[in-house]
Structure 1
Amino acid sequence: MFNRTTAIVLIAALAAALGLWASQKYFGSVRHASLPQTEAVRLIEPRRTLPAFSLRQSDGTQLIPGELKGHWTLVFLGFTHCPDVCPTTLAQMSVAQKAWESIPEATRPRVLFVSVDPERDTPDKIGEYAHGFHKDTLAATADVPALESFAKSLSMVFAKVPAPDGAPADQYTLDHSASMVVLDPQGRMAGLLRPPFDPNVIAKDMAVLTEAAP
């Protein structure tokens, strides 16, 4: 049975998905005419400028909107204690990252893993975790209010699920969006990737988008 937190997350995720669907429907004729054709990436038009945000990267530096410019970026929310979705997704993305290594570093697509569990995930820990899948994966986190604001700007959600009765309090888990958001080289929300993920198709799409940039 779903607990109340899970239900809230699902309702919020559905609302976010409906918002993106409505945007795609409304601007569909423009999108097909003006944007590259992709298989896995669902592009949206117009692209959405993100509000200001500041996340802490694994190397201790701040990740701000300007840091994401110049590359197509795939953003994924998760946490290092995640039992299945997070490691599976990052493993799949490592396959895609290896496939696009031939793209010059100056424009090569990037993967950004954002931990929504700052209570347990320090910058060092998320860096070690993300780089265990691929050395180029960016990793960042922030305090919960900043993470909530960032996730909301991407139409993504997360929520803490308390530990079961009788279990230690730090054995909680988190419900979070399993999709990935695609940011364009200007740092704007430009598309969405929904599971299941095919890393080879994703790599092909990102190569097409990179070639067609901006």
Structure 2
Amino acid sequence: MFNRTTVIVLVAAVAAGLGLWLSQRHFGEPAPTPWPETRQVRLFDPPRELPEFNLRQSDGTPLVPGELNGHWTLVFLGFTHCPDVCPTTLARLAGAQKQWASLPEARRPRVLFISVDPERDTPDRIGEYAHAFHPDTLAATADLPALENFVRSLSMVFAKVPLGDDAPAGEYTIDHSASMAVLDPQGRMAGVLQQPFDPDVVAADLAALTAAASP
């Protein structure tokens, strides 16, 4: 269950993200990166190493640092009871994924769906949900402390929100970041993809980054 400390941490993370955005607005755009120019994927220079994490994939295997190496990865937070943002986003990401089918599987960009509703979303459930949009989509979750640490490392937030008085007792939704983290082939936090986005443009951005990272 969420507690007062969790809410304070989430608010602090939002404030930190807002401070970063304001500083960039005031002092100008970030320095150029060594990667090709992208139209919608916004890259950081230098990329940021992520701390240790341990999530559970939909097939029950662990998702740990190193598992995502070799691929550019878009990380999207959501939950299977999400009424609008999650299915819309995953459907649009699937439009980009279809365009990567011709790329070598060993380097093909990936989409990772992270469920931030561990009370209701089992590994089996998130796998069925994510694969309904595209079979290549990875899905993972974890217990609440592990999720909080991982999401915070991506400068993202989520919070459990009770539904109104008219809803059945105990019913809730999840507020969460809609932007996506972009991880580079070394598994580092390398950028963000903000909403709304054009699947065709994102497909081209990630294909160009994949080509540039190829040996």
Q: Is the pair's TM-score, using the shorter chain for normalization, greater than 0.5? A: yes
After superposition, the CA RMSD in angstroms is: 2.5
Residue deviations 1:123-177 (CA, integer Å, cap 9, x gap): 0000000000000000000011110100000000000001222422342001000
Task: Find out whether 1:28 has 2:36 as its counterpart.
Answer: no
Cα distance change, pair 107–13 in 1 and its aligned pair in 2 (3 A): same
User: Are residues 1:206 and 2:200 paired?
Assistant: no
Q: SS state of the match for residue 207, structure 2?
A: helix
| Counterpart in the other structure of 1:15 | 16
Q: Distance in 2 between matches of 1:138 and 1:18?
A: 31
CA shift at 1:42, angstroms? 0.4
Secondary structure of the structure 1 residue equivalent to 2:119: coil
Distance 1:39 1:136, change over 3 A: same
Q: Distance in 1 between matches of 2:59 and 2:75?
A: 18
Identify the residue that residue 3 of structure 2 maps to in structure 1: none
In structure 2, the partner of 1:192 is 192
Distance 1:71 1:115 in 2: 21
Return the alpha-carbon distance in structure 1 between the equivalents of residues 139 and 151 of structure 2.
Answer: 15
8 Å Cα contact 1:57-1:63 kept in structure 2: yes
**TM-score, with length taken from structure 1:** 0.90
Give the unaligned 5+ runs of structure 2: 1-5
Amino acid at match of 2:14: A
Q: Does 1:140 align with 2:140?
A: yes
Mapped to 2, the partners of 1:79 and 1:22 lie a distance apart of 32
Q: CA deviation at 1:18?
A: 3.2
- Distance verdict in 2 for CA 1:132–1:93, change over 3 Å: same
Change in 2 beyond 3 A, CA 1:21/1:74: farther
Residues 135-174 of structure 1 aligned to structure 2 (within 5 Å): 135-174=135-174
The answer for the alignment partner of 2:95 in structure 1 is 95
Percent of counterpart pairs with the same letter?
Answer: 66
Aligned pairs for 1:32-47 within 5 A: 32=33, 34-47=34-47
Residues 83 and 11 (structure 1 numbering): CA distance in 2 closer, same or farther, change over 3 Å?
farther
Task: With the length of structure 2 as denominator, give the TM-score of the two structures.
Answer: 0.89
> Match of 1:73, as an amino acid?
T
CA apart distance, 1:13: 2.9
- Unpaired runs of 5+ in structure 1? none
Aligned residues: 209
Could you say what secondary structure the match of 2:77 adopts?
Answer: strand
